[in-house]
Amino acid sequence: MSKIQKIVILVLILFAIVFPLISKNDYFIHIMTLSFIWMIGVYGLNLLAGFTGYLSLAHAGFFAIGAYSLGLLTAKAEMNFWPALFLSLVITGVLGFFAGLISLRTKEHFFAIYTLCVGYIIYLVIDKWDSLTEGVRGLIGIPAPANIGPLSFETLHSHYYLVLFFLLLVVLIMYRIVHSLSGRTYIAIRNSEDLAQTIGISTMKNKLTVFVISTVIAGLSGALYASFVRFIGPDIGSIAIVFDFLTYLLVGGIGTLSGPIVGTLLIVVLSQRLQFLQDYRMLVFGPVLTLLIIFYPRGIVGAVAAFGQKRRGQVHKSNIQAANLPEEQVKEG
């Protein structure tokens, strides 16, 4: 990481910390907290789709599993928030493990179709299993996170910091994964699975690990959502949510570390600014998604990186993180 990058990151974190103090409007803090929650989910999707090359359309399902696990454990079983959070991550991970075990044997188109169906099954089960999930009525009365010693999370501000903490944690984990040997392995799998296998990478084991991590992160995002919004309905498991995630990811930059933050923030802020976009946002974002994938497959972050690269005359090509260069790598492979 260059010095400038470090400074930018520090400034951003500082800004995120002081944001609630300078913002007079509670509504903005509410929106920011929500976008942080989305970002976490988008990071989950990014690890799998962006770095390993497997487009999972089941992630709204895992988001919903995380949310419902937490909701049911706290609201119905009246468990303390923290063990419930841990348990809901375990539940998502275990279900993710089994879903991954089967779905990862399929490739490319089959994987996308398979996960689309898995997502739909999860949605339908939540919708129809009235006795457990309350069905279409939705689950109400989910409590706020329990106090840790003197720390209470009842207020909007404290909740904001809690979600910010988890977001930073997820970003840190992502950074560590992507810059580790495992991260390189995942990128190798994305670029050419056969080649990766030939050089001795156990592709199935790695893919399954990524899948489980990715679902757990989606589950975390769901659990945080449930405790923040306090009400969940089956709609959070619908395909529309995974499409939202995908839009955030693609606008920001798939397969990049900062993409999920840039994309989510931009679209959420834009949607807020342009109120008419609320209902018809896909009228704009649908074509944007399509045009981006044609002209800027790596989103805003990718386009900026490519622009910077051109300006430097591609001298420092080796300095640029491999993670930021999916296209070139594909062609080399």
Partner 1 sequence: MEILIQQLFNGLTIGSVYSLVALGLTLVYGILHIPNFAHGALYMMGGYITLTMMTKYGFHYWLAIFISILVVGLIGVLMERFVFHPLREAPPIHDKIAAIGILLFLEAFAQFVWGAEYQSMPTPYGQVVEIFGLTFTMQRLLIVIAAIVVMILLTLFLKKTFTGSTIIAMSQNREGANLVGINTNKVAMLTFMISGGLAAIAASLSAPINLVFPGMGHLVILKAFVIIILGGMGSVPGAILGGYILGFTESLGATYISNEYKDIIAFVLLVIILSVKPTGLFSKGGH
**Across-strand partners of 232?**
139
* 300 interacts with partner 1 by CB under 8 A: no
Cα-based angle 321, 327, 329 (whole degrees, multiple of 5): 60
Place of tokens 């399929």: 106
What DSSP element (H or E) covers 159? helix 156-178
Q: In angstroms, what is the minimal distance from the CB of 278 to partner 1? A: 11
Residue 244, exposed/middle/buried by CB under 10 A (0-12, 13-18, 19+)?
buried
The tokens for 318 are 């080796």
The neighbour count for residue 187, using CB atoms within 10 Å, is 22
Among 132, 169, 195, 330, binds partner 1 (CB under 8 A): 330
Should residue 239 be labelled a site residue for partner 1 when binding is judged by CB under 8 A? yes
Q: State yes or no: residue 297 binds partner 1 (CB under 8 A).
A: yes
Closest by CA position to 43, among listed 173, 161, 164 = 173
Residue 137 as a binder of partner 1 (CB under 8 A): the answer is: no
Residue 281 backbone zone (phi > 0: left; psi -120 to 50: alpha; other: beta): alpha
Q: Provide, rounded to whole angstroms, the least separation between the CB of residue 206 and partner 1.
A: 17
Give the integer Cα–Cα distance in Å for 219 and 234.
Answer: 15
Residue 294 contacts partner 1 per CB under 8 A: yes
CB of 294 to partner 1, least distance (A): 5
Is 195 a binder of partner 1 (CB under 8 A)?
no
Q: Residues binding partner 1: what is the number (CB under 8 A)?
A: 42
**Partners of 139 in beta bridges:** 232
- Shortest Å, Cβ 332 to partner 1: 13
DSSP 324: G
Footprint (CB under 8 A) of partner 1, residues 246-285: 246-247, 250, 279-283, 285
Q: Of residues 94-133, which lie at the interface with partner 1 (CB under 8 A)?
A: 102-103, 105-110, 112-114, 116-118, 120-121, 124-125, 128
Q: Is 306 in the site for partner 1 (CB under 8 A)?
A: no
**Which residues lie near partner 1 (CB under 8 A)?**
49, 53, 55, 102-103, 105-110, 112-114, 116-118, 120-121, 124-125, 128, 239, 243, 246-247, 250, 279-283, 285-290, 293-294, 297, 330
